[in-house]
Chain A
Amino acid sequence: MQTPGPFEYERATSLEGAIAALGIHGPGARVIAGGHSLLPMMKLRLASPDYLVDINELHELAYIREDGSELVIGALTRHVELLESEKLATAYPLFRDAEQVIADPVVRNRGTIGGSLCQADAAEDLSAVCVAAKAQIVIRGGDAERTVPITDFHLGPWMTVVADGEIVTEIRLPIRRGAGSAHVKVERRAGDWAIAAASACVWMDGDTISDAGIGLSAVGPITIHLTRAEELLAGATLADDLFDQVAAIASEDCAPIADTRGPVDYKRHLAGVLTKRALRRAVDRAHGRET
């Protein structure tokens, strides 16, 4: 029988109350939202918080809305809501790509975007999606709010910049012209974690890529941000071998380990292939061609 170790439980009734509780109980306190990553970790004693702050009743943290030149997603927005949002699918179709292959529909009823990012699991899909989309993460503490780029958010496996007494409240995505995006994933079976997955966003000006974002899942200790590839793509004009060069960078710049999902050389190869596929589909979508 798998049961978490003992802890105290508090159901937050306000965001301020949740932040205060997290501050009072310090490093032993954790937020619980969907709980579909945290509770399995607690059963395995990979996490042993002594105080849980349940934020599931903070419905004000569940939303997807436009705010000026940004699309803003509340941290408590659940996978099923991300999957079904037409607003999100229009601006960033890679979210729907990813949500169709994250776990299964029952799990997607509970898991949240804030929880997924805070879990800081390199194999998790939404972190790569947010890296590609150049997301900004809004973190609130007792006295102040700060905004951190997703590329600075993860410090290592299962570690984020969120400090004691802080909580992630919002994910902000830029809305820019000429956008196209895609997420592609290879998994052993339906609902499994990725063997490898690639997220790509491009912002096109005709046949010129004005900007690009690429993130990879499951091929390193944390989500891989392909900065070298993004630099190559920014300002480049579409050409036959451009994506081959990017694929080569993806294979070189990832850092997979051999495990039951495959050996290192296979995963490096896969990272390259998936990056290329994600980029092609992102460009097609930016050009109004659905593939």
Chain B
Amino acid sequence: MQVSININGEQVTREVEPRTLLVHFIRDTPGLTGTHWGCDTSNCGACVVLMDGQPLKSCTALAAMCEGHEIRTVESLEKNGQLDPVQQGFHELHALQCGFCTPGMLMTARALLDSNPDPSDHEIRTAISGGICRCTGYKNIVAAVQWAAQHQNGHATQQEA
């Protein structure tokens, strides 16, 4: 069947099987391998993308179900060479080691800050509880999201680094 999805503002249209999962539809698109395919069981959160602004585990949605919706992946965060504050925060505060969970963490954090610009640590921990990081112990991730919340306006600059 033909499936057409708006990914990061561009319409991507392909002939796929109905059973094609969103994560594979995304990753099979040139330039869009940033979304990670992890546990495949909706537990780990590495595959989180935004659908109409809400975090979604893309391993547990059919591509066909997403037609007509707007998908945002981790590639949409950086604009004109400028990192999104959540990306900059992860960089500043060493919120990743291996980086496998990072795309999902970043998109989940982006959605949180879009709806709640000044979250408490508890709210951040709740928001990212659908993601599993085996490296950091989450402390630096929470700190990075707080950093992003404090640098939302004007975005981070290299001078602050």
A contact residues vs B (CB 8 Å cutoff): 1-9, 11, 32, 35-36, 39-40, 43, 52, 54, 56-57, 103-107, 109-110, 190-191
Interface size class of chain B, counting residues whose CB lies under 8 Å from the partner chain = 20 to 34
Q: How far is the CB of A260 from chain B (nearest CB, A)?
A: 15
Chain A residues with Cβ under 8 A from B48's Cβ? 106
Apart from the given pairs A4-B19, A32-B65, A191-B129, 7 other A-B contacts in the complex at a CB distance below 8 Å: A8-B18, A35-B60, A39-B21, A39-B61, A52-B62, A104-B129, A106-B108
The answer to whether A110 touches B56 (Cβ under 8 A) is yes
Residue from the set B56, B65, B108 with the largest chain A CB neighbour count within 10 Å: B65
When A1-B40, A40-B42 are in contact, do A105 and B126 touch as well, CB less than 8 Å?
Answer: yes
B contact residues vs A (CB 8 Å cutoff): 1, 17-19, 21, 40-43, 45, 48, 54-57, 60-62, 64-65, 67-68, 108, 126-127, 129-131
Closest partner residue, chain B, to A38 (CB atom): B60
Name the contact of A109 in the complex, choosing from B1, B21, B45, B56 (C-beta under 8 A).
B56
When A6-B17, A36-B60, A107-B57 are in contact, do A191 and B130 touch as well, CB less than 8 Å?
Answer: yes
Query: Within the assembled complex, what's the spacing in Å between the Cα atoms of A74 and B155?
Result: 41
The answer to whether B130 touches A35 (Cβ under 8 A) is no
Can you list 28 A-B contacts with CB-CB less than 8 angstroms, sorted by A residue number?
A2-B41, A5-B19, A6-B19, A7-B19, A11-B65, A32-B65, A35-B61, A35-B65, A36-B42, A36-B57, A36-B60, A39-B62, A43-B40, A43-B41, A54-B65, A56-B65, A103-B130, A104-B45, A105-B55, A105-B126, A106-B108, A107-B57, A107-B130, A109-B56, A110-B56, A110-B57, A191-B43, A191-B130
Q: How far is the CB of B42 from chain A (nearest CB, A)?
A: 6
Query: Within the assembled complex, what's the spacing in Å between the Cα atoms of A222 and B130?
Result: 27
Chain B residues with Cβ under 8 A from A4's Cβ? 19
Q: Is the interface of A mostly helix, strand, loop or mixed?
A: loop
- Cβ-closest 4 pairs across A and B: A104-B130, A9-B18, A106-B130, A2-B40
Query: Within the assembled complex, what's the spacing in Å between the Cα atoms of A156 and B74?
Result: 42
Q: How far is the CB of B124 from chain A (nearest CB, A)?
A: 11
Residue from the set A2, A7, A57, A105 with the largest chain B CB neighbour count within 10 Å: A105
Chain A residues with Cβ under 8 A from B61's Cβ? 35, 39, 110
Q: How far is the CB of B24 from chain A (nearest CB, A)?
A: 8
Chain B residues with Cβ under 8 A from A103's Cβ? 42, 130
Closest partner residue, chain A, to B45 (CB atom): A106
When A40-B42, A109-B56, A110-B61 are in contact, do A190 and B19 touch as well, CB less than 8 Å?
Answer: no
Q: How far is the CB of B38 from chain A (nearest CB, A)?
A: 11
Q: How far is the CB of A282 from chain B (nearest CB, A)?
A: 25
Chain B residues with Cβ under 8 A from A105's Cβ? 55, 126-127, 129-130
Chain B residues with Cβ under 8 A from A1's Cβ? 40
When A4-B19, A106-B48, A106-B55 are in contact, do A9 and B130 touch as well, CB less than 8 Å?
Answer: no
The answer to whether B54 touches A109 (Cβ under 8 A) is yes
Closest partner residue, chain B, to A3 (CB atom): B19
Q: How far is the CB of B66 from chain A (nearest CB, A)?
A: 9
Query: Within the assembled complex, what's the spacing in Å between the Cα atoms of A54 and B67?
Result: 12
Q: How far is the CB of A74 from chain B (nearest CB, A)?
A: 18
Chain B residues with Cβ under 8 A from A191's Cβ? 43, 129-130
The answer to whether B65 touches A40 (Cβ under 8 A) is no
Chain A residues with Cβ under 8 A from B68's Cβ? 57
Chain B residues with Cβ under 8 A from A2's Cβ? 40-41
Query: Within the assembled complex, what's the spacing in Å between the Cα atoms of A32 and B65?
Result: 9
Chain A residues with Cβ under 8 A from B54's Cβ? 109
Query: Within the assembled complex, what's the spacing in Å between the Cα atoms of A222 and B127?
Result: 31
Name the contact of B42 in the complex, choosing from A3, A57, A107 (C-beta under 8 A).
A107
Query: Within the assembled complex, what's the spacing in Å between the Cα atoms of A271 and B114?
Result: 41
Chain A residues with Cβ under 8 A from B60's Cβ? 35-36, 39-40, 107, 110
The answer to whether A190 touches B129 (Cβ under 8 A) is yes
Query: Within the assembled complex, what's the spacing in Å between the Cα atoms of A23 and B23?
Result: 31
Closest partner residue, chain A, to B37 (CB atom): A1
